Structure 1
């Protein structure tokens, strides 16, 4: 399965950023990667998490 635009920062850094300021994290990611992007925000060995900023992307 191909996942959309993936963040390249280490999972622990992504997790810390989303815990510290989730809105800023999501806004920054959306600006950098577009409406749909993949993160690993649950720490080490976590499954990828895909965020959708546009409901039409789910169709």
Structure 2
């Protein structure tokens, strides 16, 4: 898998996390679940981005 594809996948994860946080912001009952999901997605994106950077060096 090339770097561009990995970065696109990471970007997609970040976008999904942002969307989850926006949904959570407007809700109180499901906020914990939505925020937890967003955190997991951001952590996955962070890992993928760091991995891509290491591969580019």
Using the size of structure 2 for normalisation, the TM-score is 0.29
Q: More strand by proportion, 1 or 2?
A: 1
- 1 or 2 for the larger relative contact order (CA 8 Å, sep ≥6)? 2
Larger radius of gyration: 2
Q: More helix by proportion, 1 or 2?
A: 2
Using the size of structure 1 for normalisation, the TM-score is 0.28
